[in-house]
Structure 1
């Protein structure tokens, strides 16, 4: 690798880690130069810890790292910079290089050459076939037979390695111009990397189906290939000692019924298998000891020797219960693959809690004098496209961070001043050049801030630039970061929630997000306010499977929409209805309108509300039409006569009456005839004349109930 370019390895070669930690932590304490074990307040938290528990230490490998024993934060110098500067790994490398004047270059010219064989031949497959791995499997997983490869150092010196029958070379194509070289018959350095090694490497992940019965986490690439040839799916990380990304594990658990750890049966494999099983609540499979006596140690060797997973000596161990089991937490595992211990533990905690006096938790947000948003709940704002859902959410956001000295109207919303909260606004729809920045300005302005201000209790991100398939992982990472950033209660606004997952109509995607939200509100001081569109044409149905489940889980569901006139056309009056309210009796509707002057929502005055109500009053109401038909139709009557009499009675146009009569026929609305027998209206043409009559509803005949 070129020693003059910006890489993790080159930075570590050019800095003293202890000096680097002190450089970045100095603004967060007054203890001078930090030494191992000196505790300071966690720099990632907005409020200082009462009992500091953050320190730096020298690991067994000799590297300096940080750890907080209270929050369980830990990591390298790169993790520290990423957290403090809120940047990604590449940006962290650039920051360290600039801060320490390392004079490393961004030039990432390739430092290798590689010659791949065009196709697999019989001699190339000699190593793989005993494991049951054929050329189609190797091609499917982008494994190549290598003719030769050459390393080029900084002095342009070339060192070449040529494949031979005695020492064949193979390459796993990881990314464009990045290979993991495998020399299986070499005693030392069987693996080497060409190109830029990815930060997190998961082999076999791209080849997994969307869902399945089970998936294995193995110790190596060959294990993945061996399992695939036997109709099993698997992945592996760079090594058994590599720390797997939590998002990958959670994704596997969401997509597969069972995720099984299947590592080697040497000391390292068993130790790491137990660790992974315990950390993530995963069952682990242990191969029999007879494998070691026959010179093997992994599942590929096991298959090579002719054994199968149905071997009676293959053991499946249930995950051990994690020590800090959280009540109703979705990521909690249970003992011996049995949830009874977990359920009984939860039952015991509930029994203890129900025996105590329970005080109703005060709301975080009031509307007028009614609590509308409560701690540790999921809440919804739903409405058709273009009805100002986001402006309503922005107003609520302003009310929650509003300065006490500010008297701006925020639609009668007010925060509970006894409960400190932080707001995190997640946007998915508005552009980043003007729309979302302007919305942020409006939030701050209504809360009494200047647009240049950055309140410490207000955070925001946009998922617009994140590919849809990755948004769930981006969001869950952000939620995890939020929990670490803020010590108090956090309200997370998702605008809109359907854009936070890949497919809002797929139950697995929807429930994965719902489970994360449920887990968060049960284990952390977190509240969610999710915005969602309603289906076009529906009265109040939120979009997709996600919308259905979201409303089921919601404590408060708010619907916003334009009030309609008698012809079902939208007026400029906006009504806020509470569809669901677990806090008590549902509040009365609240009316608003859009104000051009403030470019926001304001409360509608009484005259405006009354004017809209008058426009909605329909002449010749269907129920009243039914009553008059019952009075007039003692027998068949000429259509023109009936229409004229009804039009005169209701003081409306004949066209309106004809529409109402047709509506009665179409809906089969029940109308009592002269004898009080339930009947339906019929229309019959005789010559050029139309006649109306009432026909009794026969027993067993389908009848529609009129909805008024």
Structure 2
């Protein structure tokens, strides 16, 4: 039986290996999220392969992530399955404490560690010294001692104190002994002039001799799992630095930064490790030495991992032996604030275009903008204003087109029209004869002509003024209509030195489907931008029947979110008139806006204003609306605390928190809801 099979037989056919390296207990055939990449839902499982008789890993979302326990360890620790297979076997044996190689001498010869990068010796004597990790597990030995004052002074110049050394598991080494490649023993002793320090990283032990050659010695087998500083990182933070050495990591940490290093600057940086760091840190910054090798390596790593958006920081050092890394920077008087400033300059350069755009859009508080001018209001309450959208909605036959005609008539007049002509609305007068645009997407040319005649009659014009532009769009393709509206606004804005109001009668006909979320968001965004660019109010007529305080469809939802006001027209069959109620008022409560009535007058051959509903009628309507809202909320949820109830009222009625709290208070007063306990609420007995 070979080494591989012995491991499988000793680990329940590989199941124990998966369990050891997984962050949770593995249950065969139970799905879990991938540990190798960001997985949105469980798509992996461990199963017993009946053909081989061993457990395997299967990823149904990414088929390349599938294999046995040896493949799993290789992928987890960035090993090459062919080149490093013996190292993989050895790692499993060592980590799980199987002791297979020790139990059978036939297996020992198969275990061979991958060596570290070999430091360059300075002469023939040191050339014979083994500076690799080959056989060091057996032969190398390190004895330790307490830190001397001289050693602590050495670290102190980099800002590293004894507490930092202990936190990173760094000790003072007294003696290092090993055998060279020829089997001859040798050793090094620490002294005041030639100190030695031991870096402990998991099962890896690396000896550092700052003033001697070779500078690095190894006292245990190690591979690509050597990452100094990884254990000391927080779970999440903004920045993590990747540096070229252990001293740099501790120096950065001592100054308040997160940092790690691999075995050397030229070591391969595993993409899997970078991906994990990216999930934990907002920015990964490469901070390598400023010599030719360090600069080259950091650039290559950044380019090789472009999709991860790694940043590079260059220090103001000349790159010579004593002035090349971040620990030299701190030793020379550099400060944490300077590192922060260097980082900010990198961020500024990265977001240069964004910064330019931000400067254009950022509020200049010392130069306040002009107040948005009210175009349409009710009793002094703004419903539609410049730079905003106003939505008018209702079902078939409720008089929407006639109501819109009254708004257009008021916008045409140079004098403020009487409310009888504007059906109860306050419409800003057009004293400078700015452009008034009416786009009709549903009615024929003949019907539009009839509507325009009524508009002119309301506004007191005998002929159509030059600044009034009614446009019928029924003959145009839907995808051409917005382009025409956009171009017309641009052209007429300059011709008439401004735009008073824009009415789109049938805004749903600008899109293929009012239930297409992406298209609805896009069209409303475009209209909102046009209102802002041309400093006008765009009235969007939506031929939907609203449901309580909500508009139907994605287009309705988006208009509800972006509009400054929403007016809903309903038919009162008993009174044979139409009623207008406010569904949304950005600067107030919709339930505080009066209910307006209008109906047909045969003598005047047009709709006329019939006044406001009485206070009692309005209170009854308010109570009915609040009952419907409460029923909708408690239909899907049982009893709930006050904060949850307020949140749902805000969501269902599209109002701010203060208004929602007012509505909850009214519901409680009128017995629509009841309170029990300290702060729980339920539906009342209606």
Compute the TM-score of the two structures, normalised by the length of structure 1. 0.36
Compute the TM-score of the two structures, normalised by the length of structure 2. 0.37
Q: Which of the pair has more CA radius of gyration?
A: 2
Query: Which has the larger helix fraction?
Result: 2
